[in-house]
Amino acid sequence: MAEQSNNEINAYDKPVLILQGEQDKNVEPYAERAAEAYKDAEYHLIKGAGHGFSGANFEEAFSCIEGYLTRIGIR
């Protein structure tokens, strides 16, 4: 399964945004490794956040998404 995922990641050439909460133990350290594996990835760690984003963490995640979409020309 991991090999298939790596092959799919390596073959994907579109922009990717990866957001991870600093306290998220569900995907650690996968998110950082995935960001390094994608050809065009942007990784953002949200301090103090867990697996989901709420309150100020939601605002930060939303701001990251808005900025990212602007940078890649979608927004």
Q: How many CB atoms lie within 10 A of CB 29?
A: 8
Distance CA 59, CA 69 (A): 15
Could you state, in order of their start, the residue ranges of all structural domains in the chain? 2-71
pLDDT in tens, the chain (75 residues): 456 577 888 889 999 999 999 999 887 678 888 899 999 999 999 999 999 899 999 999 999 999 999 999 997
Instruction: Classify residue 29 by its DSSP letter.
Output: T
